[in-house]
């Protein structure tokens, strides 16, 4: 745990266009924390007394089933906030949160943040935009889980990742078992699905690297075509 300077906050989406005074006030209530790989940041049911921004590393937000299966709701990348919804509606965290790589995060006590929100329309609007995007992400996750087969979810993931990477070569940002949990399945099924794509020459797989060989086919599968 350490102090945070205003310049630490500059450049993050949530704090863009903020007047300097607001940034300074935010920095004053913030504390910096380091987490080792695998370390818990918060658990489902904990009192949501803080909102976080990830500076460095990678963090997963996930739920567990009664028999221990894991659904990853979100993989947080550097610069993104997390725990917002819980902290801002003053209840418990609705999911678990764990660092999946060495990470540095900034913690804002919920009360302080809420108070600052009321005095900073720009911060409030930024927060609203962030929440809206999050909601979009969740809507598409619901769609995927309820209405798409695993092959379509995987195809969509690869296409999205290739857009982000601006390349046909996708390097998975997480281990395959975690990707499986993200896609709402298990690693065995992911492995089999990836094999079907490989056998059809739609992708080439080399460890964490996946090359898209036949984009149109992948798009058809993402749109619901059976394979």
Q: Is 47 helix (H, G, I), strand (E, B) or coil?
A: strand
Which residues, 51 to 70, sit near a second copy by CB under 8 A?
63-67, 69
Euclidean distance between CA atoms 133 and 128, whole angstroms = 9
In 3D, which of 26, 24, 32, 25 has the Cα closest to residue 3? Answer: 32
Binding mask 62-91 for DNA (x = CB under 7 A): -----x-x----------------------
> CA 62 → CA 75, 114, 140, distances in Å?
9, 25, 16
Q: Can you read off the two tokens belonging to residue 63?
A: 């739920």
Contact status: 201 vs DNA (CB under 7 A): no
Euclidean distance between CA atoms 55 and 75, whole angstroms = 14
To DNA, the closest distance from the beta carbon of 90 in angstroms equals 33
Contact status: 191 vs DNA (CB under 7 A): yes
In 3D, which of 81, 94, 212 has the Cα closest to residue 158? Answer: 212
Of these partners, a second copy, DNA, none, which one is at the site of residue 194 (CB under 5 to 8 Å by kind)? DNA
Q: Would you tell me which residues interact with a second copy (CB under 8 A)?
A: 63-67, 69, 71, 73, 84-86, 88-89, 91, 94-95, 114, 117-122, 124-125, 127-129, 131-136, 138-143, 145-148, 184, 223-224
Q: Would you tell me which residues interact with DNA (CB under 7 A)?
A: 67, 69, 149-151, 175-178, 184-192, 194-195, 205, 207-208, 226
């Amino acid at each position: 745990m350490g102090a945070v300077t205003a310049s630490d906050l500059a450049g993050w989406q949530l704090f863009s266009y903020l007047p300097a005074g607001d940034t300074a006030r935010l920095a004053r209530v913030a504390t910096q924390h380091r987490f080792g790989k695998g370390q818990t940041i918060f658990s489902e049911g904990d009192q949501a007394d803080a909102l976080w921004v990830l500076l460095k590393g990678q963090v997963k937000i996930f739920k567990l089933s009664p028999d221990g299966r894991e659904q990853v709701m979100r993989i947080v990348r550097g610069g993104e906030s997390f725990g917002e919804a819980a902290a801002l509606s003053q209840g418990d965290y609705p999911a678990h949160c764990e660092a999946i790589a060495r990470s540095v995060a900034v913690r804002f006590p919920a009360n302080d943040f809420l108070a600052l929100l009321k005095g900073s329309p720009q911060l409030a609007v930024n927060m609203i935009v962030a929440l809206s995007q999050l909601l979009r992400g969740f809507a598409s996750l619901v769609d995927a889980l309820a209405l798409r087969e695993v092959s379509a979810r995987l195809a969509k993931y690869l296409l999205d990742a290739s857009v982000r990477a601006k390349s046909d070569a996708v390097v998975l940002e997480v281990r395959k078992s975690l990707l499986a949990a993200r896609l709402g399945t298990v690693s065995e099924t992911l492995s089999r699905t990836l094999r079907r794509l490989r056998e059809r020459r739609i992708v080439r797989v080399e460890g964490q690297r996946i090359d898209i060989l036949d984009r149109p086919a992948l798009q058809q599968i993402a749109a619901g075509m059976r394979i």
